Amino acid sequence: MESRSSSGDMGRIASWVKSHRPMYDRATQHPFVVGISDGSVDLSAFKRWLAQDYIFVKEFVPFLASVLLKAWKHSDDESDMEILLGGMTSLSDELAWFRKEASKWDVKLVGIAPQQANLEYCRFLQSLMLPEVDYAVAITAFWAIETVYQESFSLCLDSSSKTPEELMETCQRWGSANFGHYCCSLQKIADRCLEKASSDIIRKAEEAFVCVLEHEVNFWNMSCGE
């Protein structure tokens, strides 16, 4: 039987995390998040991130809807829709959470302009929404986007971290084991799709993975005011 992927028994996604480890670590251990975990983060950077991420999450809703549509059209496993629908439900809670958190910090959300890195990331999301983008490519990007936040904010929940109490809720939203379980479900869907994808689609999915990492690093840099 043909090996499951170039890396033997580990799935395609795990082999890409391994082969792109430096870029993956830059995205999931960024100084902005390390600053939260050691309590040194500049609160103005956190407030900038909050307002910009609200803009991003609003753009993320139609992107997730496009992944749902692709799952409905192309997936051979009905449970994909259930998992993706769960993600959509939590997104609607998430928008309400952003508005509550912003009022806690007295951060204006209305009339805030997206900064360059945010604009570019949202443009990338829009490119993945096109019907000609394969489901395997879209679900790989979706897994990567969620996993970067899960890995980043779980750093802040380590027993050794000194995350300020007032930032804990933010870190728990994405760093929790529950969100980690959701990311594993997305990885399984992506691996299953990639197992039967053409080499051209596998290449496009890997490119999308690396693009997500680059956009995430730029988004964190933007939050730091760079």
Give the footprint of ligand NSP on residues 72-91 (CB under 6 A): none
**Any contact of residue 145 with ligand NSP (CB under 6 A)?**
yes
**Any contact of residue 219 with ligand NSP (CB under 6 A)?**
yes
Contact of 219 with 52, CB cutoff 8 Å: yes
CB-CB neighbours of 16 under 10 Å = 24
**Any contact of residue 146 with ligand NSP (CB under 6 A)?**
yes
Q: Of 56, 90, 216, give the one whose Cα is nearest residue 148.
A: 216
Catalytic residue among 166, 195, 216, 226: 216
Residue 36, SS3 per DSSP: helix
Among the listed residues 34, 57, 61, 112, the single contact to ligand NSP using CB under 6 A: 57
**Any contact of residue 54 with ligand NSP (CB under 6 A)?**
no
Pick the stretch among 11-19, 33-41, 52-60, 188-196 that binds ligand NSP (CB under 6 A).
52-60
CA-to-CA dists, residue 106 to 66, 93, 101, 167, 171, angstroms? 33, 20, 8, 14, 19
216 included as an active-site residue: yes
CB-CB neighbours of 64 under 10 Å = 20
d(CA 59, CA 49): 15
Among the listed residues 24, 56, 143, 153, the single contact to ligand NSP using CB under 6 A: 56
User: From the CB of 170, what's the least distance to ligand NSP, in Å?
Assistant: 10
Q: Footprint of ligand NSP on this chain (CB under 6 A)?
A: 53, 56-57, 60, 145-146, 149, 216, 219
* Catalytic positions, written as ranges: 216
